[in-house]
Structure 1
Amino acid sequence: MGFTNDPTSGPPEEPEQNPFKGTPFEALFSGGGGAGLGPAGFGGMDLSALMGQVQAMMQPYDGPINWDVAIDMARRAAAQQPDPSPTARDKDAVADAVRLADHWLDSATDLPSGVTTTAAWSRAEWIVNTTDAWKVLVEPIAAQAVDSLGKALPEEARAMAGPLIGMLSKATGAMVASQVGSGLGALAGEVLGATDIGLPLAAPGVAALVPENVKAFAGGLDVDDADVTLYLALREAAHQRLFANVPWLREHLIGAVTDYARGIEINTSAMEEQVRGLDLTNPAALQDAFEGGMFDLAQSPAQRAALQRLEITLALVEGWVDEVVGQATAERMPAAAKLQEAVRRRRAAGGPAEQTFASLVGLELRPRRLRDASTLWGSLRTRQGTEARDGVWMHADLLPTASDLDDPLGFREDATAPESLSLTDEDFEAGLRGLLDGPGDDRPQE
């Protein structure tokens, strides 16, 4: 290799250039000894020993991310503050609030109830019960991240690493898992329920609140705790109605996330600065290095379109919930206006935990145009009635666009469907009836 470890043979020759130079794995394959696999590393360390060290960083797992690590880290993060299990009284209070909320919503929308069961969760229970949904949302982003990092290695480095490539890929998946876990742990400290971020994270039909977080939210408001719980139960039940009766909506949102993930490109040069000089066999050091967020994204036009589609749809979902809950509480809850404003600001701006999650996994879930969407739905109801307002959810192509949110009072002034759908009045009415009848085998398919 052009060098020697024999101290009697004179000064060693200049080491050959590390083929991993300029990549996130330069430190691991440097010639500085220790855990390195550069010239000194190959001369002084058995390859199998290093492979054992690297493998000790992780346990076998399937997919692009080690979810066992992610969930463990999330629960550890959530446990940094008191997280008592909900009492029987908490569970009864949530169940009673959701039951009353569903009754009130019957007067505000013809969409039937989507609630099949209620739950009161601790923060740790929120993490466990929403994991399946997060897998669907995060794995496309994680898979693209792992793939991009693997491609950061030049060809000569790939040949040199040999069997370590697979291990490094798994190590990257473990690092991504630590980021996701940190983000979910932060979110668990703030979320109020199963649909608080605008997506249905629990199993279908499960309306859940997190009493400890609800109490913290109520603490900053001059509103009775029971009113706060009821108002949040109204929002939870309204989300459940929408997602239960609009079967394409969940996939529409997830599809936008997947489309966004397809174009992700990791800024490996920024990562090189983060990990250069680190001991890559030290998981704690790796975690510290990546806590600032690894997703420095250069968005393509397709990504920007997918992100806009996600943001607009989230705004429409949140705006519809805001409008329906406002209608249901108008004559019943004097404190509703104050609670509506508090929730609007919270959702539109995103809390610290939501911002942390966005920086860690590159995914923002903020409905920035919530107010415009709420105005649009309210205006449509005033002009054409609740059936016309709710009938827009019959098909994705009927949804308002960004330009419609620019003029929310003018949406569907002519009360006609887009020409691209070629819907007759009879077709629209038939589809609307299917939407209002609720889930069932005889529902018209998209």
Structure 2
Amino acid sequence: MESSAGESTVPAQALINWELAASTAARLAPAGPSLGSSEIGSAVENLRFMADVSVPHVHDITGLEAARDLRDSSVLVVDRASWSRANTQSFAVMLKPAIEKLLESRQGTLTPGAAAVSGAITGSQLGAILAFLSSKVLGQYDPFSALAEDSNAPAGGRLLLVAPNIIAVERELNVTPEDFRLWVCLHEQTHRVQFAAAPWLRHHMLTQIDDLSGHLLGNVDSLMERATAAARSLKDRSASGTTPGRGVILDLLQDPEERAAISHLTAVMSLLEGHANVVMDAVDASIVPSVKTIRQRFNDRGKDRGIVEKFIRNLLGLDAKMRQYTDGAKFVRAVVDVAGMEGFNRVWESADHLPTEPEIHDAKIWLERMGL
């Protein structure tokens, strides 16, 4: 296809080779636990069963009627390579508007050949990141999969349970597999229920992600300078033993609008993750007999991470993400203590009811704003 100026147009997908990202992640992902074919089949069947069993408990704890009918989304038990491929599809959905805007601003200055080379480099780099993450994630609710090109996902999205990682962690913690799997499913199914209870939330998050990525890509000329400075900062902090506050990736954000966008997304993610953590820990021994042991051992496992893993986690800001679980859970518990679960559930009514980052850290501000 030729543009009116006679220049070949560059498709949005050319700037990131998504297929290369998925194949690179599959190739670089660490091997999972050793399992026979019968063990794999049994684990997959059991995880599907636990996913179903967990939903009524989510309903009882949250009081959200959306938990009664989740037919607009699906549950998939996947391996690491499939998780990575699913995420390339979602990233393509989330970044497409920003990439299209970038291409429009660079019209006539970027040739298809240069875009292809750039796309291959970016795809390989993204694949390496996904390979690392694919061995860490236990489960993930993906509300954007239905919007991907040629997607066969249900309209509401899909819940991915990463079987090799769940099995690896339950073995590492030496806990009862059935208990641990149900505990994980309680958390992940809560995310599924959140988006069913707030059908506006997917579009809201897409808009916010588009806004943030648009700012970053729109300032692409200064992005490399900021990336170099952030990498130097990581090296200095690693040498001194200082723990980064948010991770080098987030240190790239300097513009006030960028910081406002990430602040809002941080608050939303803290809410979602904290709420799911509250649900998974709300069950007692009658539902998950070893729940206290699981939580204690799960919290302690991060203390044994090696230097390389700590470096990568600092780079990606994963420890900052872990604080979202803690901060969000404190917010949810503080609101429920005052207003009950019914009062807290007002958060799912509209985007205006979502807490801000200051409110996440001081629930009283949100309660006052909601008249609770």
Q: TM-score, normalised by structure 1?
A: 0.61
Contact 1:315–1:369 under 8 Å retained in 2: yes
Residue aligning to 2:49: 96
- Corresponding position of 1:121: 78
CA shift in 2, pair 1:64/1:412, >3 Å: same
**Partner in structure 2 of residue 76 of structure 1:** 27
Q: Which of 102, 121, 134 lines up with 1:188 in the alignment?
A: 134
CA distance in 2, matches of 1:297, 1:147: 23
Q: For residue 225 of structure 1, what is the aligned residue in structure 2?
A: 177
Indicate yes or no: 2:85 matched with 1:134. no
1:209-260 CA deviation, whole Å, 9 max, x = no partner? 1121012222332422221111001111111111122112222223222211
Q: For 1:333-372, what aligned pairs fall within 5 Å after superposition?
A: 333-340=288-295, 356=312, 359=315, 366=321, 368-372=323-327
- CA shift, 1:391, in A, is 2.1
Structure 2 counterpart of 1:384: 339
Q: Give runs of aligned pairs for residues 21-420 of structure 1, distance below 5 A.
A: 62-78=13-29, 80-82=30-32, 87-111=40-64, 112-113=66-67, 115-116=70-71, 117-139=74-96, 165-195=111-141, 200=143, 203=153, 204=156, 206-264=158-216, 265-266=219-220, 267-268=223-224, 297=252, 299-329=254-284, 332-340=287-295, 356=312, 359=315, 366=321, 368-408=323-363, 411-412=366-367, 416=371
Counterpart of 2:125 in structure 1: which amino acid? Answer: Q
What are structure 2's unaligned runs of at least 5 residues? 1-10, 146-152, 229-247
Q: How many pairs align?
A: 321
Q: What is the letter of the counterpart of residue 16 of structure 2?
A: I
Q: 1:238 to 1:294 in 2, by over 3 A?
A: closer
Residue 182 of structure 1, CA deviation: 1.3
Summarize deviations over 1:115-173 as a string: whole Å, max 9, x none.
4443321112222334321212344676688889x79xxx9xx7xxxxx8331122112
- Name structure 1 gaps, 5 residues minimum: 1-59, 159-163, 273-292, 418-446
Fraction of identical pairs, as percent: 26
Distance in 2 of aligned mates of 1:395 and 1:75: 39
Q: Verify the 8 A CA contact 1:316 1:374 in the aligned structure 2.
A: yes
Deviations 1:246-289 (A, max 9, x none): 112222223222211122234446899xxxxxxxxxxxxxxxxx
- Give the direction of change, closer, same or farther, for the CA distance of 1:399–1:296 in structure 2 (3 Å limit): closer
Aligned residues of 1:372 and 1:408 also touching (Cα < 8 A):
no
**How far apart, in 2, do the equivalents of 1:374 and 1:177 lie?**
35
SS at match of 1:106: helix
Residues 393 and 82 (structure 1 numbering): CA distance in 2 closer, same or farther, change over 3 Å? Answer: closer
1:105 deviation in Å? 1.9
Give distance in 1, aligned partners of 2:70 and 2:203. Answer: 19
Q: Distance in 1 between matches of 2:356 and 2:165?
A: 34
Q: What amino acid does structure 1 have at the position aligned with 2:85?
A: V
Q: Relative to structure 1, is the Cα distance of residues 141 and 217 closer, same or farther in structure 2, using a 3 angstrom cutoff? A: farther
Are the aligned partners of 1:323 and 1:374 in contact in 2 as well (CA < 8 Å)?
yes
For residues 204 and 320 of structure 2, what CA distance do their matches in structure 1 show?
Answer: 14
| Alpha-carbon distance in 2 for matches of 1:245, 1:346 | 33
- Quote how far apart the aligned CAs of 1:315 are: 0.2
Larger Rg: 1
Residue 395 of structure 1, CA deviation: 0.8
Distance in 1 (alpha carbons) for counterparts of 2:314 and 2:123 = 14
Is the contact between residue 93 and residue 144 of structure 2 (CA under 8 Å) also seen in structure 1? no
Amino acid at match of 1:101: S
* CA 142–61 in structure 1, closer or farther in 2 if over 3 Å, else same: closer
Query: Aligned partners of 2:296, 2:133: CA distance in 1, in Å?
Result: 21
CA RMSD of superposed structures (Å): 4.0
